[in-house]
Amino acid sequence: MIRAFSSCLARGALGIDSVSHGPRNEALSEVLDGPQNVEMGTGQDARQGEAKNFEGDEMARSNAEASLEDKSRRLAVAQEQLAEYAEAKYVELKAFGQPATKLCQAVAGGSGSFPQVVMLAQDLQQKLEEAEKEADAFAKQARKDVDYLKAVRITVRQAHQTSQEPEEEPAPLGALSADGDEDGIEVETEMLDSPNRPLAPAAFNTELSQRARWIPLRLQIDERKSLRLLEAALNVSEYTDKVDILTFRNKTQRMHTQLKDMCAILSGLLVASDYKKGQKLMAHRSFLDNAEFFQNVFEVGRRHKVMNPDKMRADYGKLIYLLMDSQVKFPL
């Protein structure tokens, strides 16, 4: 068996038995070569499909950009026509107002036997003046919108051109200049060492605005506790509802209500934060001894609102009114 098997291997390797076992070798070749051919064909079809999809996306994007540009031009023309119409209407109404003014002056100066005519002329004059002012305001607003859209289109066009310009690859540090000397090294070193390197103001402002919008204020654990404490106290407080009313008879009564509500809010903050200190505060009314604690709590709330404008929408107004009223000198 071993000799027969070795002889079969030798004949198969030399291709001697390829004729006698043709069908078996073809079937084996189909099995072995089939997946590779299928994978290669699948990869080619996938690449062709990706190329077609890319071409379709590029064509759709080009068509969308062309359509957008055409519609923006149409809108600009329509706004320009609207502004011209408003200006023409203003001139027309202004021309109508002058005869009405002369008529009113003539009738009023001639005799006093036509009071009804004078009243009608005055009414006409008043209406024309109002229409003239309205048309003037509308024309100015339309012209302002047109100028603003022109400036926006110019800015967008410049930004688009800047983004399409190919960026020059910086020369490697230590590369020689065209003359073969080392001037390139000196220029690179000066640019790197210079503290006043030029920055693009538009890109810098955009980066700052994005950071201010999306990066929240990082609070520590104690500061987060203080923030939740402040939000809870302001949420249950009715300070603005009690103070901002018109039922007080005098200023002293209003100040008395403000002082009571302020003390209630501060006492609630301290009691919820530290029960023992809250007991001392309720017993001795020592608000000044805990001034640093109150200042830290209010400062955390203020900084959190400044860095996160979407937070504390209803409670921040109470906080600001409370801090503003705390500057009032109460006659104790």
pLDDT digits over 2-30, tens only?
Answer: 454 445 444 444 444 444 445 545 554 55
**100, 128 contact by CB (below 8 A):** yes
| pLDDT at residue 41, as a whole number | 46
- Continuous segment of H or E residues that includes residue 272: helix 251-273
Say which residue the tokens 């026509």 belong to: 81
| The predicted structure's pLDDT at residue 303 | 84
286-302 in b/e burial notation, b at 16+ Cβ within 10 A?
A: eeeebeebbeebbebbb
Place 211 in a pLDDT band, splitting at 50, 70 and 90.
low
Q: CA angle, corner 232, sides to 230 and 236, nearest 5?
A: 120
Per-residue pLDDT band at 192 (split at 50, 70, 90):
very low
Percent of the chain having pLDDT more than 70? 58
Distances (CA, A) of 146 to 75, 85, 154, 280, 290: 10, 13, 12, 66, 58
pLDDT (average), residues 310-314:
80
The predicted pLDDT at position 97 comes to 67
Cα 110 to Cα 100, 106, 117, 120, 274: the distances in Å are 15, 6, 12, 16, 87
Angle between helices 291-307 and 315-325 (to 10 degrees): 140
